[in-house]
Amino acid sequence: MDALTALTHALPHRLLSSLARRLAYSRHPRVRRWLIDTVVRRFGVDLEEALESDPKAYESFNAFFTRALRPGVRVPDPDPRALLMPADGRISQCGPIEGGRIFQAKGRSFTAAELLADAEDAAPFADGLFATVYLSPRDYHRVHMPWTGRLLRTVHVPGRLFSVGPAAVRAVPRLFARNERLVCHFECDFGPMAVVMVGALLVSGVETVWSGIEIPRYGRAVTVKDYRNQRLVLERFAEMARFNYGSTVVVLLPPGVATLAPGLGAEAPVRLGQRLATLA
């Protein structure tokens, strides 16, 4: 375990994330400009892809971080049988869910039941597929639908806010099942699909298109919201949620419905809209 990852075990996660949130939403010109310029320079953000390419035009760091892309910069795979990559970033891991367990890194895994905070919710995904996508600070931070689905419910699971960078993924046991997260359950024409928005250290919020800010709540109890009576359908490739800082999204699929796209593996760079899997 590197020194920074070890330090995060002792840090006051929620306090730091609350402070980061205040900075992210600050409209003070010097604060805003310093934060934006620092991230653009350090991480090589490509603002030519953004709908607003002038960094001075953003009212806050958060507005910059959740920036929209120009039309046509990302397009969905044209094959109608292709499930889509939900975000820009890198594959952390992907593959089969074996014995109910999801691979995290060498020597580390966690169960689907732990990730979803419910064994009954996890049962349909036994022996299915998963893909974990890490979004770095340079990436587009809106998450889109891999497939058309009707929202059934969301589950906000309180937890820690460890970093989700590669070093932490290798070092922290059951990382994604310990961090605060929002589990989104969808009903698709092939069956259930879960999309899990995982919070992280200095993540100042997760927002959905249907309910607004979901994290931070920083509560102690699991919170379930039922949307079954609202007939809320999100189309393939439509925006569903956004991170206010870099984090991770996990997609779970049931067994027998799809095969992962060839060439996907740990650390593979991916772009929103490319093929994640192909329907069987």
At 190-225, the pLDDT tens digits run: 999 999 999 887 665 789 999 998 887 666 789 999
pLDDT per position as a tens digit, 245-256: 768 999 999 999
Task: Give the Cα separation of 141 and 143 in Å (integer).
Answer: 6
Helix (H, G, I), strand (E, B) or coil at 210: coil
Spatial separation of the C-alpha atoms in residues 22 and 31, rounded to whole Å: 11
pLDDT value at residue 110: 95
Q: Would you give the distance in Å from CA 142 to the centre of its chain?
A: 9
Residues in the chain: 280
Distance of alpha carbon 257 from alpha carbon 228, whole angstroms: 23
The residues carrying an active-site annotation are 88, 144, 247
Q: How far apart are CA 100 and CA 119, in angstroms?
A: 10
Question: In degrees rounded to 5, what are phi and psi of residue 140?
Answer: -65, 130
Residue with tokens 């993924």: 169
* Exposure b/e, 219-237, CB count within 10 A at least 16 = b: eeeeeeeebeeeeeebebb
6-45 pLDDT per residue, tens: 555 555 556 666 666 677 777 888 888 998 999 899 989 9
* pLDDT reported for residue 7: 52
CA distance 249 to 259: 19
**Which pLDDT score, from 0 to 100, does residue 200 have?**
80
Dist. CA 250–CA 52, nearest whole Å = 28
- CB-CB contact of 253 with 130 (8 Å): yes
Domain ranges in the chain are 3-65, 82-279
Residue-wise pLDDT for 34-78, tens only, equals 989 998 999 899 999 999 999 999 999 889 989 999 999 999 999
Q: What is the pLDDT of residue 84?
A: 98
Percent of the chain clearing pLDDT 70 (strictly above): 90
Smallest CA-to-CA distance from 103 within 158, 165, 177, 167 is with 177
CA atoms within 13 A on the CB side of 279: 15
Mean pLDDT calculated for residue range 111-125: 97
